[in-house]
Structure 1
Amino acid sequence: MKQRWFTLPAAALAALALAGCSGTPTSPAQGTTSAPAPAVPAAPAGPSATTWGLDPAGAAGRIQAAGLPVLTAEGTAEHFHAHLDVVVHGKPVTVPGGIGVTVGPDGQPDGISSLHTHDTSGIIHIEAPTAGQRYTLGQFLEEWGMLGGTGCFGPECSSEAGKWTVYVNGKAKTWGLTEVVLAAHDEIALVYGNEAAMIQPKYAFPPGL
């Protein structure tokens, strides 16, 4: 199987995405009543699918908070891949490239975790310098910056953990979501809300992964 290693700084990841009028109010005329304001539909509760971007700043701290070291190159002792889908209120959330990658003042990658992404495919790369270590969904969310201290997920971190479901290879898991262990070619779907979502039991990994 052909393997493509990521070495810093010789090989660089793709550039990381950084990510009305008013007038003077007047009082209604005496004996009249103002028309009620039109009802505005309430926004769905929970995290917003438009604010799941990656902030490169603080990447080293997030990697360390996940219990992982910042490396100068991808490890070669362990190499496998899993895939993550995130669905919020029935809509997919893009998993950013560059999770688990630190960026220097020049904007170029200068460090990497054993647990990282190269692009927005949702493929999680596990490339470690030692074999046999356990990697979890919680560690990945920590590196992304989407894991709160109270067990909630997402940028707002105001959701109830009980509203989240994780599917691993098509099978639902509603407890210990952050403890899901990543394994080779796992298809993991992190789903929020009651809206129907298509959950695939497998992901078609590209040849060589």
Structure 2
Amino acid sequence: MLNKRLAVALTVSGLLAGVTACGAPAQTAPRRKRLRLRHALGFGHHGRRGRVGLDPAAGAQRIKAAGLDILTAEGTAEHYHAHLDVLVDGKAVTVPAEIGFSFGADGQPNGISALHTHDTTGVIHIEAPTAGLKYTLGQVLSEWGVLDGKDATGAPHGGTGGWTVYLNGVKQSAPVSDVVLKAHDEVVLSFGSAPSPVPSSYNFPAGL
């Protein structure tokens, strides 16, 4: 059941990537903007045009680095969603699909964590087998492998200096990694120029 559902998710994300690739020719971003994005996110696996890629080969290690288990099916004891916007100088950075997935040698998904994404909308899914646990922005970043997220060795990719978190439009004083995700939260992670206005809510699709 999981393999079928994950395979569908993988296929959908592949189609989305294909649509992007088949669209208008991509214009190379100015070098200084690319370098600023790399510096801001402290991460090496970068895409183009405001995208920061996800290395599927290390999915299992990143899930473990986040302190989460690799599941064979999405949990049903706790099920809710939050939304994440990542902005660098007010420009959106795409949150990748399949954060929180593990993959086999054949490239097909073979596991999932309670905290994950299915697409590039920025919707964070919490589907846990145990109710009452807290899930944080820091765990999302660990599974993604950016900022204070850690790699398989436990070494941090980069710091969160210069980053600001807004929760439902309100600036947070807590460390980035400590922000707890709750149902229908709108989380904005911003670097550089502050967004104006700050997104304070997200129009979740029916059923989420």
Instruction: Normalising by structure 2, report the TM-score.
Output: 0.76
Q: 1:58 is matched with which residue?
A: 58
The structure with the largest alpha-carbon Rg is 1
In the other structure, the counterpart of 1:70 is 70
Residues 77 and 130, structure 1, Cα contact 8 Å, conserved in 2:
yes
Letter paired with 2:74 = E
Aligned counterpart, 1:47: 40
Residue 133 of structure 2 corresponds to 133
User: Would you say the 8 A contact 1:162–1:174 is kept in 2?
Assistant: no
What is residue 123 of structure 2 aligned with on the other side? 123
Matched, 1:148 2:141: no
Letter in 1 for 2:171: A
* Structure 1 runs, 4 residues or longer, greater than 4 Å off: 40-45
What SS class does the counterpart of residue 119 from structure 1 fall into? coil
Q: 1:10 aligns to what?
A: 4
Partner of 1:104: 104
Structure 2: unaligned runs, 5 residues or longer? 18-29, 42-48, 151-155
Amino acid aligned to 1:8? L
Alignment length (residue pairs): 176
Tell me the CA shift for residue 119 of structure 1: 0.3
CA contact (8 A) 1:14 1:119 kept: no
Identity score, percent: 54
> Residue by residue, what CA displacement relative to the aligned partner does 1:135-181 show, whole Å, maximum 9, x if unpaired?
0000000000113379xxxxx956x6341110000001144111000
For the 8 Å contact 2:90–2:194, the answer to whether it is kept is: yes
Q: Which amino acid aligns with 1:133?
A: L
What RMSD in Å do the two structures reach over aligned CA positions?
A: 2.6
**Match of 1:169?**
168
Q: Hey, which of these two has a bigger chunk of helix by percent?
A: 2
Q: Which residue of 2 aligns with 1:194?
A: 193
Which range is displaced more, 189-198 or 106-115? 189-198
Question: Structure 1 residues 149, 101: CA separation in 2 closer, same or farther (over 3 Å shift)?
Answer: closer
Question: How many angstroms apart in 2 are the aligned matches of 1:123 and 1:195?
Answer: 22
Q: Partner of 1:22 in structure 2?
A: none
